[in-house]
Chains A and B, each alone.
Chain A
């Protein structure tokens, strides 16, 4: 019997460590694996017995013995409806996540790991670039720039030495693809890095990883050490540099500045990193997911990749499906499948079967796609047409209880905080936009605020040097484009249709009230009065609109307007 526990960050957050401890207390050896992508079912335990695999979900420590007693009869066995999540996917990047033990190089080697790198030793760099060119692989970090082109430019750049950099500063709130890949299959990322280094002639590779990802850093370091022991790093030295928390460092020139020990502020391009990057050396920067694709492409050929996806967006893309979706997690699908397939067929639809309202793609640089566009194919071109972007792959689903104006305010708050301050339009413009959105959500919007926002949006886009400023207005522009009526309701009628903006709500008690006094006890402002077993009432002058009464009432006696 072999016991494998899902030990990614999501698994640990759901309590995997206690489950592992329990197995070990019973003297059952446990193996670890990365995130299989079904984060909503964690902690997940796979037990292999007599060539059969049993998958248990939501496992608690005190249920461990019960599982072992009768594998086939446990209540915790995964339900058939949940297995459909994996069936709707096509896994290239995630092929090993949740399958192999990420802390053992032997597991990676056993399935042909590092064979692509070995094959590259016998090939000319230009041949490798040609394979990547034929595959149509585009950067998975957000911009979608052709990967071969950047490698080719760095290869042809005359300077020496050269450097490879892996951008693992996954800063988009709501995105965790890169974290899961590094935690679940670190050697694939390293192999991609080594192939890149071989192609451009670099002798150093640096992984720039977010400091908020301690487990990813740990596993990447372990993998680097193991690769070194196996003699794989004779030509290239690899090291990790932990980021220090700045969203703008996802921009490549800012990332380079950060690697050089400076404040992470972007600079003008050209020169491009391929010409003058890290300490002036020719540098190739790629995102984690891009690198993890490269060994697969080199090993299996370009056609194995172009078999999936569309003409201009080849292959698959990993998405972090979260928000108000039933089965949130990590999803890898061929480019070009409709959004509906991802959200409904794989994600199982909306929590509590509420109404789908929008999906936010591309994080603070992206936008909200409304339900009318649910059949949009997920590829670079079609998503860009909606005003959102594929971005790094965050997909946050929202239902009818999410206020789109508040959502725009949330993202502007983020970009305003994260603006490095170099460009005036980005630094001050995002601040002014945030102030306007703040007042709209507080019921103090002015009649011409929408036009003012739009004007600021276009000026910030034009007047900013890097991607952060150029895309910061996108969440506002897309919500105005698709949900203008919500902005108008806030500004003109002082109402929040999604009933989310607290200051625009009124709480009243209706005739369902039986006088149980729960709401009066819950009210922190003592605004609710009434006698036991008689209808209560709320003093509007005292009400702070916290919603405590609404969430405690069991008789639907609180009305929100």
Chain B
């Protein structure tokens, strides 16, 4: 079953990917968060048609799913770029100049927090704390952590990723 309604994604969404997730979590008590987390793992974000299918098959109100999805910072309703930049703005990073890093990223990529570059390469997400406070300021790109950032080395990291495409 595929669906390409509205403009949530250019590609049709393959809802059959959800089969296994639904099978695993359908009958577990308090399952809405794991369902949403697994869905996001599959698609990179929460496509509306996927939420509709989960609601239909689990009996959870779609409005409730939407309410839970928008309450927690982890969930995204829009697709993200190839490289998700999680910039830490925790206390230690803040004290050690994370603002300058934030400016450097915005300057280099021309995007604000939560936005994706036009080429679809980068999405900037500012997060509260990554727990690597002793190496502040810190950002994660995908699953790789970059520590002790300066505006210059931050730009260099982004440029080398852009060259790789």
Contact surface of A with B, Cβ cutoff 8 Å: 9-10, 12-14, 39-40, 42, 170-176, 179, 211-214, 241-247, 258-264, 279, 320-324, 328-329, 360, 363, 394, 396-398, 402, 407, 410-411, 414, 418, 420, 524, 546-547
Q: What's the nearest-Cβ distance from chain B to residue A79, in Å?
A: 17
We find that the number of chain B residues with CB closer than 8 angstroms to chain A is 41
Residue in B29, B71, B107, B133 whose CB lies within 8 Å of A322: B133
Known contacts A13-B135, A212-B129; 14 additional CB pairs below 8 A are A14-B135, A39-B132, A172-B129, A174-B92, A243-B74, A244-B74, A246-B72, A260-B29, A260-B30, A322-B134, A323-B91, A323-B92, A324-B95, A396-B91
Closest to A258 in B: B33
10 A–B contact pairs at CB < 8 A? A13-B147, A42-B135, A173-B89, A241-B33, A242-B34, A244-B33, A246-B71, A263-B67, A264-B71, A323-B91
Assess A214 versus B143: contact at CB under 8 Å? Given A323-B96, A324-B96. Answer: yes
With both beta carbons as reference points, the residue of chain A lying nearest to B90 in the complex is identified as: A173
Q: Which of B29, B71, B130, B147 has the most CB atoms of chain A within a 10 A radius of its CB?
A: B71
Is B145's CB within 8 Å of the partner chain A?
yes
Q: Which of B29, B71, B136, B143 contacts A263 (CB 8 A)?
A: B71
CB distance from B124 to the nearest CB of A (A): 16
Are A363 and B91 interface neighbours, CB within 8 A?
Answer: yes
Taking CB atoms, residues of chain A closer than 8 Å to B127 are: 212, 245
Q: Closest CB-CB distance, A423 to chain B, in whole Å?
A: 16
* A121 vs B60: C-alpha distance when bound (angstroms): 41
Does any Cβ of A come within 8 Å of B103's Cβ?
A: yes
- Write the chain B residue with the least CB distance to A279: B29
**What is the bound-complex CA distance between A279 and B31, given in angstroms?**
13
Known A39-B134, A172-B129, A176-B132: A245·B30 in contact at CB below 8 Å? no
B117, CB-defined interface residue at 8 Å: no
CB proximity of B67 to chain A, nearest CB, Å: 6
Minimum C-beta distance from B75 to chain A (A): 7
B133 and A320: CB pair below 8 A?
A: yes
Contacts of B94 in A (CB 8 A): 173, 410
List A contacts of B130 (CB < 8 A). 9, 212
A261 touches B32 (CB 8 A): yes
B133 touches A328 (CB 8 A): yes
A216 to chain B, nearest CB (A): 9
> In the docked arrangement, what's the CA distance between A407 and B89, Å?
12
